[in-house]
Chain A
Amino acid sequence: MKNAVSGLGLAPDAAMVTFPIDMFLPGSDISPVETRKHEFYDGLTGWKSDLGAPSNGASPLLSVRGATFEEALVRANNLILANQWGDGLPVWPATRERVQWILQGTPRPREHVLGTFPPRGGVATVEICAIALAMAGGRPEYLPVLVAAVEAFLDPASGSEQLQAASGSAFPVVIVNGPIAKQIRLNSGFGCLGPDPQHPAGASIGRALRLMQQNVGGARPGVGTMANYGGLRYTNVVFAEDEENLPAGWTAHGTERHGFAPGSNSISLAFANGATNIRRRGAKKETPEEDAVQGMHRMADFMRVPNLAGLAGYEHGTPGILMIPGVVAQTMAGLGWTKRSMREFLWEHSRIPAEHLRRAGGYAWIEIDASKVTRDSAALDPWPITASPDNVVLIVAGGGHPTNSYWLQGYSPGVVGRAIALPEEFPRLLAEAERDLNGG
């Protein structure tokens, strides 16, 4: 709540009366309200903020000393954890030199303000992005993607203001389109959702974004964010669409969803709160047509659950991100499928019978939704999991193997795109990366 208060531009405290969670549960004993009534009365009358005006200065420098570099590094990491700025893995202290090196990766000045990070309201500058990227082990050529992702994250349409603090454990998913993906070693193939020493960019960029969510946005577990489980938060999800294996006639996600020019560099950000492998391939003597349709049904069946996570983006967002490998996309295209026809099939076959929704209590959530389109959808039987097939995000990515597809369950009021801005000296940064990482 203090985060939310500072996010509104007030000093980061407030007159609050706090109770253990038990009191907020159905049938609870609420007598402590009376026992502690004077705290409410004081909040209305005598309460004063303990905090003065917050600092408006630039990011200060901290200092540690050690007999050796290793001792200084250990002390720096201890200090970072003591201040709750780390994530449990070692971080690279954001030295002046390292931050300056990373700042080469953007055409924007270091003091350029990208917005304020909810819920705490910390000001996100380009410099703060570089600091986070330094801590996350990043490099200058990653910075353009991180800056674009932060811009999208801070766009009110993303829903980050609520999702940063909400219990649903949302994590940002950043999908990259354009040649930059390959240039900076961002994964679009085998293991694209996890750390990969051959493609280290995604882990660093995602970790930097997470560190910003925590440090600038104040989203510390159980304090600034009530995310029950917090899955996929070490590195969030940052990957590229496998554009090399997009079938002829299929459009890249950045162009299809956001209208960016084909071949241009862009990111697309949505929130998800689930990640599940779906066994897509058949096991016996299916024809190609049977294999395709059975796999489509299996994916639609998986999407057809009254979990209601998709309500957050029912009208404008997404019920989730479905990833299919390039080899599957090629086969599907050969059978006449397009991204659009696949989305329409999945939308139609993931509709939930009213009876299933009713027995799971789904209508109560639909009826209290802020969106009229969502509330009106309660009249539909079977109930579509999202307002339009176009809301489903379908991405060609993953290793070149036909067995699996992947469903990132959406929890996303919007899907926000941003163009990626590169500095003039970007080719030099790529050459230096080649030298550093590939022995070139």
Chain B
Amino acid sequence: MVTLEFHEPTGRLEARQPHAPRLDALEGKRIGFVSNEQWQAFRMLPLLKTLLERDFAGIEVLPINAFPQGNALIGNEETAAEVKRSGVDAVIIGNAA
């Protein structure tokens, strides 16, 4: 028998930070959107806002323009800091295609 050994080519991954903890419940929470304004986000995210506000008592869902929008802005540190300062409990990010 011939044995051929060779290297796996994908390279290691380094997890540098954990995912954000999930919320215990949505009632009474403050939720934000970070939108790239593409791929029908301007329709889908407001629909999601309506659904959340209908389904969970005391929830506050910020409008989709509460934070800077667009691919050029949503990934930068200033936007991240603005989201953090706003005191939201969680954000929904969309849309990608």
Residue ranges of A at the interface with B (Cβ–Cβ < 8 Å): 1, 6, 8-12, 14-15, 21, 23-26, 28, 30, 33-34, 37, 40-41, 43-49, 53-69, 71-73, 75-76, 85, 93-96, 99, 116-117, 120-125, 127-128, 131-132, 134-135, 211, 215-216, 226, 368-370
Chain A residues with Cβ below 8 Å from B47 are: 30, 33-34
Residue ranges of B at the interface with A (Cβ–Cβ < 8 Å): 1-19, 22-26, 31, 39-40, 43-44, 47-48, 51-52, 55, 70-73, 90, 92, 95-97
User: Chain B contact residues: over half helix, strand or loop, or mixed?
Assistant: loop
Are A24 and B2 interface neighbours, CB within 8 A?
A: no
Are B92 and A44 interface neighbours, CB within 8 A?
A: yes
Are B13 and A12 interface neighbours, CB within 8 A?
A: yes
Count of A-B residue pairs with CB < 8 Å:
173
Are A10 and B7 interface neighbours, CB within 8 A?
A: no
Given contacts A33-B48, A54-B12, A66-B1, 16 further A-B contacts (CB under 8 A): A8-B17, A9-B17, A30-B40, A40-B52, A44-B26, A44-B92, A45-B22, A45-B23, A45-B25, A73-B4, A94-B6, A96-B7, A120-B13, A122-B13, A124-B11, A226-B97
Known A117-B11, A131-B9; contact A33-B2, beta-carbon cutoff 8 A: no
Chain B residues with Cβ below 8 Å from A73 are: 4
Are B14 and A54 interface neighbours, CB within 8 A?
A: yes
Are A99 and B48 interface neighbours, CB within 8 A?
A: no
Are B5 and A63 interface neighbours, CB within 8 A?
A: yes
Out of A12, A54, A211, name the residue touching B9 (CB < 8 Å).
A211
Out of A6, A95, A211, name the residue touching B4 (CB < 8 Å).
A95
Chain B residues with Cβ below 8 Å from A226 are: 97
Known A24-B39, A226-B97, A368-B70; contact A63-B14, beta-carbon cutoff 8 A: no
Out of B3, B16, B18, name the residue touching A72 (CB < 8 Å).
B3
Chain A residues with Cβ below 8 Å from B24 are: 45
